[in-house]
Amino acid sequence: MPLPMMAFIRVFASIPVKGNRKAAAAHRSFCSAASLPASACSGLAPERIMEHKLYRAPPEVRGMTSLDIEAFTQTITVPALRVPTGVLNKVVKSLKKATIQRPGVPRVVQDKEESSDFRLVLLDPHRVSSPSSFSEAEAEALRSFSVAQELQNYELRLTYHNLKSEEVLEAVLPQGQDVTSGFSRVGHIAHINLRDHQLPYKNLIGQVIMDKNPGVTCVVNKTNMIDSTYRNFKMEMLAGEENMVAKVKENGVTYEFDFSHVYWNPRLSTEHQRVVQLVKRGDTVFDVFAGVGPFAVPAARSGANVLANDLNPESHRWLQHNSKLNKVEKKVRCFNLDGRAFIRGPVRQELPALLRGGAGVHVVMNLPALALDFLDAFKGLLHQENLPTENLPTVHCYGFSKDENPEADVAERASRSLGFPLKDRCSVHFVRNVAPNKDMMCVSFSVPKEVLFSGDQEQTVTFLPGGWRRSALQREQPTERILNRPMTRQSRGVSSSCVLRHGGPHVVQIPENTQRALARRVRVRTHGGKLEDELDSFHMTIHGAAAERRAFGFFRETAAKSGTLEGKQPI
C-alpha cells in the first residue's frame, strides 16, 4: 500500500545520513524544501518527533518578539507510578527509559496523599500510556519489587525553563519557516547567522540561546560576510554582556582574543591538529595568514620554528599575546604584512639558509576565499645559484569550491595560479562543508623547482647614485614606460633595491641598510593614500598604476641623483 506523501517525507527525513557529503547536502535540502521542523530532519525515531509536538508551548506565544517567560506556562497530564520509598531507587533505575525526561522536571515527586512511605515516579507519556506499555524486562522488575502497575494521572506544571530552545523558537516563529537553534560557541560567546525572516525575532532568539546554554553570556549575529581585508565578521549584539574578549582552549592550547576584531572558527580544531601533526621538531613553519595563532602556536609548542604573519593589526597583537600566553614567544616571530609581501619578504630571506640546512619547511595559507590567488608569489621567489632542490617547501593552501569535483577544482586553480601543473604532484584534503554545495578544501604540494627558481616573472631595479639600472628581463609596456622616464631631480644618493611585479599588488622592498629618514618619509607620504605602508616602513604594497607612478616618482626624488635609465635591453 503506498505511503501517504507526508508519511513518506517523514520516513525519508528520519533516515540517518553519514559519510557522504553529497547525500547529506541532498538530505538537508529535501528537509528544508518540505518545511519540516528541525527534529524531523535529524534522523530521529518517530516517537522523538511526537515528543517535540507534545511539549509544544501554548499557541498564544506565536509571533512574540520580546520574550515573556510567563506566557509559556501550562499544565499537562502525565502518567505516574506509585512506588514504595524502600525500593524507589531500584525502580527508577529499572524504568530509566520509561521515566519523563524534560529539562528541570524531576522524575520523582511527592505522593499527592502526602504519605512518607510512597513517592510518584513520573513517566514519559509517549513511552507509557497503559500498563501494557512496559517492556517485558520492566514489567518483570516491577513484579520483583512488588510494585503495582496501576498508573495514576499527575498534573505537571510546565514553564519556559522546562522547554528546549528549539521548542521555544518553533512556537514563536511563523509556522513553516526554519528555526534557528544551532550556533557556534567561542568561549562565553555564541554566534549565529540569522536569515531575513528571523530578524524581527533576533533579540528573543538571542535571549533563548543564552538562557538554554549554561556558560553563554553573550550572543551575537553575523550581519555580513567576512570582511575581505581582515577576515573578521561584522556583528550585532543580540543578548547579554558586551564582552567580546574570549578565552578558548583548543587541542590543549589556550587562546585569548577580541572576537569582534579577529577571525576564529571553532569548527577547524581537527584541521589545525592535522596540519600541526605533519610538522616535525626542528622544522620551520611560515604561516602566511596566521590569525591569532591556531597553527603557529601549537606548531611552536611541538618544537618547530615559526614565522607567523597577519595583515590585521588586531590579529597580529593577539598572535603575539598568545605566543607569550603559551610560553613560545621565543619560537614565534610575528609579522604584520600583506600575505604576498610576507612571501616576497621574510619567506624569501629565510629560505636559502633553510634549504641549505636540510630541515623541513611548511608554508600554511589558511585564507580559503583568497589564498589560491596568492600562490603566484612563489614564482621566481629564489634566484641564487647552488641551492639544494631536493627538499623544497611544502605548501598547505586552503580554498573554497562549489564544483561537483572539489578536489580537481582546487588542484586546477592552484596550478593556474602557480603557472605549473600540479595534477600528479599534490594531495587534496576535504576539510568541511561550509554551505550547501560549498566545500572547504586543503591542497598540499611541494613547490616545484620550476616555479620557485623561475626568473621570467619579475624585474629587479637597483637604485644607484648615478641612475637606475635594470638587471633582469624587460617587462611589458606599462612598467617599461615608467622605468624609461629620465630622472632629473637631484637628491641624496641611496643604494636600494626594488622588486616590481606587473599587474596586481607590487611589492617595494627597502633593505634595512636604507636610511631611516627615507623610511620615515615613505610612511608620511603613504598615510591615508593609495600606498599602504608595511613591515616597519621597509615594505609597502602598491595597488594600481597610478599608485605605482606615485611610488616611483617619490623614489626618484629621494633616492637618485641626476641621470637616466642605463641600458634599453636586459643586462
Residues making up the binding site for S-adenosyl-L-methionine = 272, 310-311, 338-339, 366
3-state percent helix, strand, coil for the chain, nearest multiple of 5: 35, 25, 40
Query: Which residue is listed with cell 606615485?
Result: 550
Q: How many helices (H) and strands (E) does the chain have?
A: 17, 23
Provide the β-strand partners of residue 179. none
- Would you call 89 helix, strand, or coil by DSSP? helix
Number of C-beta neighbours around residue 493 at 10 A: 12
Q: Copy the grid coordinates of residue 396.
A: 598547505
Phi, psi (deg, nearest 5) at residue 317? -65, -45
Annotated binding site, which residues? 272, 310-311, 338-339, 366
CA distance 302 to 305: 9
DSSP state of 332: E
Grid cell, residue 368, equals 580559503
What is the pairing mode between strands 394-401 and 426-435? unpaired
Measured between alpha carbons, how far apart are the two ends of the chain, in Å?
86
Contact 423, 415 (CB under 8 A): yes
Q: What is the DSSP string of 431-458?
A: EEEEETTEEEEEEEEEPPHHHHT--SS-
Asked if 124 and 98 touch (Cβ cutoff 8 Å), the reply is yes
Helical (H) or strand (E) element with 92: helix 88-94
Backbone angles phi, psi at 276, to 5 degrees: -60, -35
Long-range contacts of 427-435, Cβ-Cβ distance < 8 Å, separation of 24 or more: 429/274, 430/21, 430/406, 431/268, 431/271, 431/398, 432/267, 432/268, 432/271, 433/21, 433/24, 433/25, 434/400
Determine the Cα–Cα distance for residues 119 and 112; give it in Å rounded to an integer.
Answer: 9
